[in-house]
Structure formats: structure tokens, C-alpha cells
Amino acid sequence: MSQEQFVLPGDVIVTGNYRPEQNVILEGDRLMSTAIGFSEIKDDLVTVTPLTGLYTPKTDDLVIGKIVSHNALSWEVNINSYYPGILTASDIFGKDYSPSRDDLSLKLNTGDIILARIANVNSRDPLITITGENLGKVDSGELVKISPTKVPRLTEKNGSMIQTIEGSTNATITVGQNGLVLLKCDNSAGLKKAIASVKMIGMMQYEVNIEDKIQNILDENN
């Protein structure tokens, strides 16, 4: 017997005598999803196949997001996930924040890009923070979007791939775990190569000869 349903992190898929497998945890007799995707029950095994295009928030993850709206208490931020991230006013103004005194739009507006961390994922809408070193509003740079599942290709091996690209282009690269990559470079040719390299990594289905392909991009016209 096989049953499929769309699930979000924290959703209870089934209760009873079942065994958790991929992207599923067991709490008591409840089997819960840890990812956004489709659950499947075969015999006594429960799995979740994640959606490749969306990001599943995890506490402390570095993310790059876009402000989409705000109310008196918080900003709503697109973090390339099923639900938006929530940045509270108190995260910026402090505990003494007053809706009648403090104007959120003076700090962040719709369309602004921010570098943030996931602070809490215990609710449906994950809380994010820009309190921390190198976090906050992004004033310059180019954004490239890749699938969150491809992010490890950039960051694995102690970031050697990023170091290779940065070393050849003089670019600085900041990778969000949500699949958004921020690139900055004073040299237009170097920026173009860095962007092409990141896009190549995002498009490749397999890792065979990926280093060689990236090196070919970096060596062009050198």
C-alpha cells in the first residue's frame, strides 16, 4: 500500500507502528516530516521526497532574502521557501521598540535585500535575524539563484570551489543556504566569470569533471 501527500516541516504524516526513513522523524508514535515535499508510505516505511526548488529552513542557516512587505511589528521576507521568513521589529529596534514612535520603513523597505540567519523554526513562518557579524541590508552586488540542493557543491570541501572562483576573479562570494548567492567584484570581467561559474554549478546534474568545467570558464581570455 502506498499513500502520498504534500507535507511541510513539522507535519504529522501518520501515527502508529511505522518506521521513519528519509526526511522523517519519530516523536512518540507520530512520524513527522522534516522537509517540504511529498510523503510516501510503503508497508511500514515512511519517507518524504523533498521539492528541489524550495528551501527547508534550519536554525542558524545563513540566508539571503528579499523584503516583500511589513506591518507594525515585523517584515515579511522571501527566503525561497514555502513560507516567508519573519524579521521582527525588535530585532532591529531592540526591546524598547514602539510602533507609535519607530517607523519600520526607515530601516528596510519592500525590495531590499538582506543577509540573515534563521533564528527559529518552531513555528510555520521561520523567524530570521540580522543581528550578527556581516548581517543586514545588502547595498551592492549581483544575485544568482540556484537550487538549494546544489548549494553543497559550492560549500563542500571547506569551500574550495568558492576559493577557486574568488582567487581567479577577485570576486567575493556569499552563499545562502536557501539557494541565493551574492557576488561582488570591482572588475566586470571577473564578475562575469564568477557569475558564469556559479550558474554552471547550479545547472550541472552530476559532479563529474565539474572542477575542470569551472576552470575552463575561469581560464577564458586569460
Instruction: Identify whether residues 151 and 117 lie together within a single domain.
Output: no
Residue type, 90: S
Q: Residue 210 sits in a domain of what CATH number? A: 3.30.1370.10
The answer to whether the beta carbons of residues 191 and 183 sit under 8 Å apart is yes
- How far from 217 is each of 13, 51, 195, CA to CA, in Å? 45, 30, 10
The answer to whether the beta carbons of residues 193 and 220 sit under 8 Å apart is yes
pLDDT at 206 over 90: no
The answer to whether the beta carbons of residues 197 and 165 sit under 8 Å apart is yes
Summarize pLDDT for 37-52 with one digit per residue, the tens. 889 898 889 998 877 6
| pTM score, whole prediction | 0.77
**What does pLDDT average to over the chain?**
90
The answer to whether the beta carbons of residues 108 and 102 sit under 8 Å apart is no
Grid coordinates representing 171? 570576486
Q: Residue 35 sits in a domain of what CATH number? A: 2.40.50.100
The answer to whether the beta carbons of residues 125 and 85 sit under 8 Å apart is yes
The answer to whether the beta carbons of residues 155 and 179 sit under 8 Å apart is no
Please tell me whether residue 70 adopts helix, strand or coil conformation.
Answer: strand
Q: Residue 71 sits in a domain of what CATH number? A: 2.40.50.140
Instruction: Identify whether residues 146 and 131 lie together within a single domain.
Output: no
Q: Which residues contact 76 (CB under 8 A, 6 or more apart)?
A: 67, 68, 69, 70, 84, 85, 86
Range of the domain at 29: 2-50
What's the rounded Cα separation, in Å, for the pair 179 and 166? 18
Report the pLDDT averaged over residues 135-158: 90
Residue with grid cell 576552470, as numbered in its chain = 215
pLDDT for the residue numbered 54 = 83
